[in-house]
Amino acid sequence: MKQLRQLLTLGLVAACLALPVTASASGSYTARPPQPGVAGKSLDRAKYSLGQKLFTGKVQPSAQADAATQTERLKRLQGLLPDKTAARKDLPALAGKLTGEQLDALDYYVTKRYAK
């Protein structure tokens, strides 16, 4: 009985010492993992920021432009918005008030922000 207990104790100690040797590592660790979808797709910050300000109303459009040409593009952008956001925003109402640069920036913002 005493020999069996010593044998079991010895086996348990041997198993505890052998376990770390057989454990496999999880691989290398990167301090900052890459962002999915961001690599290779950089945003034009100035254009995005201007479009965001126009969308949120922080910048008021004050230009006089042809409303007919802008209406179609703004209707297309309105269609890209989610239902909840589209109910609160009326982008075609901005037709005729945006410069070409502002319209491009708004288009850029909406297509990047609400991409499907």
Per-residue pLDDT tens for 59-80? 988 888 889 999 999 999 999 9
Closest CA to 77 of 68, 86, 69: 86
Supply the range of the domain harboring residue 49. 45-113
The number of domains in the chain is: 1
Residue 63 lies in a domain: yes
Least confident of 4-8, 16-20, 29-33: 29-33
Report the range out of 15-19, 25-29, 48-52 with the highest average pLDDT.
Answer: 48-52
User: Is residue 23 situated within a structural domain?
Assistant: no
Return the ∠ at Cα 57 (arms to 55 and 60), rounded to 5°.
110
Establish if 28 belongs to a structural domain: no
In a domain, 6, yes or no: no
Q: Which residues contact 48 (CB under 8 A, 6 or more apart)?
A: 105, 108, 109, 112
pLDDT of 15: 73
